[in-house]
């Protein structure tokens, strides 16, 4: 029998699109690699991975927008401005 946490995780995942799940997994992967590092190192890593995905055609502008809207509420105004600048740069690749 499943416990409630496992059941909840499965229900949450079933409501997400495949792109959202992939994006979430990518961010988790990068975050775990850079656990304990500073924000700038993490931001550079996310940007570089997004740039690779954009060039490879596996990351869409909609994916970028989804990521930014997911992350934005956790940032202060200065970091949100930086995020918006990076989003614009990535969309132009």
Q: Which two tokens stand for residue 74?
A: 């956790």
Asked whether residue 44 is assigned to any structural domain, the reply reads yes
Give CA–CA dist 46/26, Å, rounded.
Answer: 9
Cβ neighbours of residue 41 under 8 Å, at least 6 residues apart? 34
Q: Under a CB-based contact definition with an 8 Å cutoff, are residues 27 and 67 in contact?
A: yes
Average pLDDT score over the chain? 78
Q: How confident is the model at residue 71 (pLDDT cuts 50, 70, 90)?
A: confident
Does the residue 4 lie in any domain?
no
pLDDT tens, position by position, 1-28: 344 344 345 545 555 677 667 777 777 7
Residue at 86 is within a domain:
yes
Range of the domain at 55: 18-91
Residue 61 lies in a domain: yes
3-class secondary-structure state, position 22: helix
Q: Does 22 fall in a domain?
A: yes
pLDDT at 44 over 60: yes
Number of domains in the chain: 1
Residue 3 lies in a domain: no
């Amino acid at each position: 029998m499943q416990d409630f946490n496992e059941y909840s995780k499965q229900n949450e995942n079933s409501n997400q699109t495949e792109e959202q799940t992939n994006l979430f997994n990518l961010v988790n992967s990068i975050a775990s690699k850079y656990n304990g590092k500073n924000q700038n190192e993490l931001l550079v890593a996310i940007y570089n991975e997004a740039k690779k995905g954009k060039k490879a055609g596996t990351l869409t502008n909609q994916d970028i927008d989804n990521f930014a809207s997911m992350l934005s509420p956790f940032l202060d105004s200065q970091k949100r401005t930086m995020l918006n600048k990076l989003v614009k740069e990535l969309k132009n690749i």
